């Protein structure tokens, strides 16, 4: 009112003050304004009085209404008390009429409410479906992530009302005896189920598109979804509480009847609005879990686990990070939802990995890929989310125990396959060796090979490469420990048995093996294999130790020595066997040394030396690696000189030409064998001839003792048995021998003690062992 008057006044003033001439009428203007002011004040007072009267009337009405409400509340409470007293006191029927009247009124109101809801059911159902379809169509057009989510809220609100109605009607239907009621309830339930399914479909789409909402930063939509789930969670909690109270009441009041239970259930429905839980929190989580699992499984089946490794795998950790953003901004803290999201992702990959491992079709490459994924996964999660090592244990793709089990299984499989392959290869080589059915080539470049070294190194390299892919140095060291201690020991032992077997056949001139003459060349070639294997083992072990820590490196160096020692020892055994074969060839000739024919001619020693040189040394030089010749030359000359000295045990009397004959033999040995002595090996051994000549040439006991003292300074481990047999061949009487031996044995002990750390010579093996003539 006052606003209208002010506007009129301004119009009048404007009309009056149109030009300067109007200023002369200022007195009239002031007079008019004063009149307008009195008019306005009068109207304001009238309006105030009228509003005050209205306020007094409203206060009076509110007072009366409150009074009536209090009286009604009191009356209702009294009616409830009367009703409850009537129900609990079965002997009194005084107040039944109130109970029936109250129930009639209540049923009338419920029927009226139900009727209204049923009459509008179709309309509301269509609204719900249309609203949900609108949101789903947005998804089909790729626009859902930009939606406000208001239609989702409307749909949920209306759907909840209809579902509450359904629960209410279901209880009424259970009590109703009219079949039409049940038919109607079933019909409405079917219609409503269409809405429920459509709502669940939309919820599934939302969950599936949650990362799109994060990308568009449409967190408002997600918050509305979460609020819906929170509301559903609270309502379900009410249902659980009522069910708990009802169950507790039944337990505490065993005499409660079915009517009382129904009444309590009906009372529950008026407060809770639903008869059972709808489980949307569980549905929501299940949708989340299924969406994650389906996407992970689809990715893995199409690409394999390698898609999660390296730069390609960055999408996986970006996905988890985006989920973390959504959860931090939209989800309630008490849900603690991110650990669930992470576990669903991890368990999906874990299940896929377990399927691979359970099928037993995987190899070390696939296992290495899995172990790499587990390591990279832990590294990335720790980096992104600052997890502690203890927290990572629960979400690892492979537990530490499982990892150890897998690595050990892989190790055992590699050990088993190595045993099998080595045994096959070794048996094949040994069969070839023992058959002697292939004539060795007479060309150095065509050395007969049993492929032992090649096969072993191929098997070792293959398994080493396979195990190294696992990236675990401990397993690698264990495998090499098995290889060095078991495989190489077995390799050596089997070949030693075969060499012993074939040597016996050589000694016995086994007629079943027509090509027994090939044996020296076969042994020569086996020694070549051993050298090849030794070099290969050294090279491979050295390559493997690169990049390992010191502990593993030192262990592998120890294992390298063990492995190569087996190969070296076998090669050495081959050379010893060759020397043994040579002994068999000349043993019937060498026993004639120190005999009469030996004094007369050099034929005996020449024949022996020719066998050694032409049958063993020269072929070996032509068909073996140079590195092996020095060792063979050492063995052959050792055995020859030792067997030469052993002939003294026949106790043949030395003739006058003994010194001359010994000098002759010495020159022949150096002429025939010395030409191969580039290292001076034989020359050092030939000192024994000088010692023997000096002892034989000595006349007196003191002279012999002096000569023996000098001899010990040349060869510290000369056995006293050699001196004894020389004295007996000189035909010294026992007393002289006893005296000399008494003195010289003490010298021998002293010399051994003084040179205990030195390597012994071949001559320490000489023993006094008289041979029966």
Instruction: Scan for tokens 């507790």, then name that residue.
Output: 248
pLDDT (0 to 100) of residue 270 = 59
Domain boundaries, the chain: 2-80, 120-229, 283-398, 407-590, 638-773
Question: The CATH number of 638-773 is which of 3.30.70.1560, 3.40.1260.10, 1.10.357.70, 3.60.130.10?
Answer: 1.10.357.70
Instruction: Scan for tokens 């002096």, then name that residue.
Output: 706
Torsion of CA 229, 235, 237, 238, to 10 degrees: 170
pLDDT (0 to 100) of residue 597 = 94
Q: CA 89, 90, 91: angle at the middle one, nearest 5?
A: 95
pLDDT digits (tens, 9 = 90+) for 400-448: 888 888 888 888 888 888 899 999 989 999 998 998 888 877 666 666 6
Check whether 469 has a pLDDT greater than 50: yes
Q: Which residues of 255-271 are buried (b: 16+ CB within 10 A; e: fewer)?
A: eeeeeeeeebeeebbee
Check whether 156 has a pLDDT greater than 90: yes
pLDDT digits (tens, 9 = 90+) for 740-771: 999 999 999 999 999 999 999 999 999 998 77
User: 137: how many CB neighbours lie within 10 A of its CB?
Assistant: 11
Sort residue 144 into left (φ over 0), alpha (ψ -120 to 50) or beta.
alpha
Check whether 1 has a pLDDT greater than 50: no
Among residues 586, 305, 625, 307, which one has the least CA distance to residue 447?
A: 625
Among residues 293, 144, 295, 292, which one has the least CA distance to residue 225?
A: 144
User: Which of residues 465 and 44 earns the better pLDDT score?
Assistant: 465
Contacts of 611 (CB under 8 A, 6+ apart): 582, 585, 586, 589
Percent of the chain topping pLDDT 90: 45
d(CA 151, CA 138): 12
Report the SS3 class of residue 198: helix
Task: Say if residues 233 and 274 touch (Cβ distance below 8 Å).
Answer: no
Task: Say if residues 99 and 133 touch (Cβ distance below 8 Å).
Answer: no
Task: Say if residues 695 and 704 touch (Cβ distance below 8 Å).
Answer: yes
Query: Average pLDDT for residues 278-286, to the nearest whole number?
Result: 93
- 679: confidence class by pLDDT, cuts 50, 70, 90: confident
d(CA 263, CA 163): 21
Query: Average pLDDT for residues 53-65, to the nearest whole number?
Result: 59
Task: Say if residues 719 and 671 touch (Cβ distance below 8 Å).
Answer: no
Same fold, 407-590 and 638-773: yes
pLDDT digits (tens, 9 = 90+) for 551-598: 888 898 999 999 999 999 999 999 999 999 999 999 999 999 999 999
Report the SS3 class of residue 352: helix
Pick the range with the lowest mean pLDDT from 89-103, 369-383, 697-711: 89-103
d(CA 126, CA 162): 12
Q: By 3-state DSSP, what share of the chain in percent is helix, strand and coil, each rounded to 5?
A: 85, 0, 15
pLDDT (0 to 100) of residue 338 = 93
pLDDT (0 to 100) of residue 16 = 60
Backbone angles phi, psi at 718, to 5 degrees: -55, 130
pLDDT (0 to 100) of residue 446 = 60
Question: The CATH number of 407-590 is which of 1.10.3720.10, 3.40.50.300, 1.10.357.50, 1.10.10.10?
Answer: 1.10.357.50
Contacts of 443 (CB under 8 A, 6+ apart): none
Pick the range with the lowest mean pLDDT from 169-178, 206-215, 361-370: 169-178
pLDDT (0 to 100) of residue 2 = 45
pLDDT (0 to 100) of residue 720 = 95
d(CA 351, CA 296): 10
pLDDT digits (tens, 9 = 90+) for 717-747: 999 999 999 999 999 999 999 999 999 999 9
Instruction: Scan for tokens 């269509």, then name that residue.
Output: 126
pLDDT (0 to 100) of residue 292 = 92
Check whether 206 has a pLDDT greater than 60: yes
pTM for this model (two decimals): 0.67
Q: How far is CA 91 from CA 88, 94, 96, in A?
A: 9, 9, 11
pLDDT digits (tens, 9 = 90+) for 630-656: 999 999 999 999 999 999 999 999 999
Percent of the chain topping pLDDT 70: 81
User: Which of residues 545 and 317 earns the better pLDDT score?
Assistant: 317
pLDDT (0 to 100) of residue 314 = 85
d(CA 671, CA 301): 79
Check whether 212 has a pLDDT greater than 90: yes
């Amino acid at each position: 009112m006052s606003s209208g008057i002010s506007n009129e006044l301004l119009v009048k003033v404007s009309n009056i003050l149109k030009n300067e001439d109007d200023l002369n009428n200022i007195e009239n203007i002031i007079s008019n304004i004063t009149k307008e002011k009195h008019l306005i004040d009068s109207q304001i007072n009238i309006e105030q009085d009228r509003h005050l009267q209205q306020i007094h009337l409203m206060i009076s009405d509110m007072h009366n209404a409150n009074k009536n409400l209090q009286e009604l509340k009191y009356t209702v409470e009294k009616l409830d008390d009367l009703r409850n007293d009537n129900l609990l006191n079965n002997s009194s029927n005084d107040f039944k009429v109130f109970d029936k009247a109250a129930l009639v009124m209540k049923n009338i109101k419920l029927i009226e409410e139900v009727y209204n809801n049923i009459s509008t059911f179709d309309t509301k159902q269509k609204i719900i479906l249309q609203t949900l379809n609108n949101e789903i169509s947005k998804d089909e057009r790729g626009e859902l992530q930009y939606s406000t989510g208001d239609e989702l809220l409307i749909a949920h609100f209306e759907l909840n009302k209809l579902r509450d109605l359904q629960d209410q009607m279901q209880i009424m239907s259970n009590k109703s005896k009219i079949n039409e009621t049940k038919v109607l309830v079933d019909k409405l339930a079917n219609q409503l189920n269409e809405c429920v399914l459509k709502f669940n479909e939309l919820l599934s789409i939302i969950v599936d598109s949650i990362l799109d909402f994060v990308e568009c930063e449409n967190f408002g939509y997600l918050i509305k979804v979460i609020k819906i789930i929170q509301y559903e969670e609270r309502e379900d909690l009410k249902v659980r509480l009522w069910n708990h109270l009802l169950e507790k009441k039944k337990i505490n009041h065993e005499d409660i009847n079915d009517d009382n239970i129904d009444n309590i259930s009906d009372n529950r429905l008026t407060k809770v609005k639903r008869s059972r839980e709808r489980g949307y929190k569980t549905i929501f989580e299940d949708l989340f879990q299924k969406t994650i699992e389906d996407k992970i499984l689809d990715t893995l089946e199409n690409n394999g686990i390698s898609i999660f490794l390296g730069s390609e795998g960055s999408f996986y950790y970006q996905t988890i990070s985006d989920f973390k953003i959504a959860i931090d901004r939209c989800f309630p803290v008490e849900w603690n939802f991110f650990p669930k999201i992470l576990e669903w992702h991890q368990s999906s990959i874990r299940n896929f990995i377990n399927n691979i491992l359970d099928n037993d079709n995987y190899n070390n490459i696939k296992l290495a890929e899995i172990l790499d994924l587990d390591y990279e996964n832990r590294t990335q999660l720790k980096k992104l989310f600052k997890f502690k090592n203890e927290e990572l244990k629960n979400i690892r793709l492979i537990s530490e125990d499982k990892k150890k089990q897998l690595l050990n299984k892989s190790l055992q499989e590699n050990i088993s396959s190595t045993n099998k392959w080595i045994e096959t290869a070794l048996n094949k080589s040994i069969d070839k060796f023992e058959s002697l059915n292939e004539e060795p080539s007479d060309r150095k470049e065509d050395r007969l090979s049993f492929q032992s070294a090649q096969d072993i190194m191929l098997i070792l390299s293959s398994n080493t490469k396979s195990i190294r892919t696992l990236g675990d140095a401990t397993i690698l060291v264990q495998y090499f420990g098995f290889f060095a201690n078991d495989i190489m020991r077995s390799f050596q032992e089997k070949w030693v048995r075969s060499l012993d077997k074939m040597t016996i056949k050589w000694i016995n001139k086994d007629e079943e093996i027509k090509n027994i003459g090939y044996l020296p060349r076969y042994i020569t070639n086996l020694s070549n294999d051993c050298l090849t294997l030794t070099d290969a083992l050294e090279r491979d072990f050295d390559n493997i130790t690169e990049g390992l820590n010191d502990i593993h490196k030192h262990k592998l160096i120890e294992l390298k020595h063990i492995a190569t020692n087996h190969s070296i020892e076998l090669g050495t055994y081959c050379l010893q066997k060759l020397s043994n074969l040579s002994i068999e060839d000349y043993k019937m000739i060498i026993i004639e040394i120190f005999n009469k024919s030996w004094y007369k001619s050099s034929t005996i020693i020449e024949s022996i030396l020719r066998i050694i040189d032409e049958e063993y040394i020269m072929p070996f030089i032509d068909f073996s690696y140079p590195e092996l010749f020095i060792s063979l030359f050492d063995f052959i000359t050792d055995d020859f000189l030792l067997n030469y000295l052993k002939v003294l045990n026949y106790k043949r009397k030395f003739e006058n030409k003994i010194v001359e004959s010994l000098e002759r033999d010495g020159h022949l040995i150096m002429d025939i064998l010395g030409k191969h002595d580039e290292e001076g090996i034989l020359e050092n051994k030939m000192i024994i001839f000088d010692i023997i000549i000096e002892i034989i040439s000595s006349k007196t006991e003191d002279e012999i003792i002096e000569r023996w003292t000098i001899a010990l300074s040349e060869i510290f481990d000369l056995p006293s048995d050699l001196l004894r047999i020389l004295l007996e061949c000189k035909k010294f009487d026992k007393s002289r021998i006893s005296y000399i031996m008494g003195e010289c044995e003490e010298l021998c002990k002293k010399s051994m003690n003084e040179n205990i750390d030195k390597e012994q010579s071949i001559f320490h093996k000489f023993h006094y062992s008289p041979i029966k003539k």
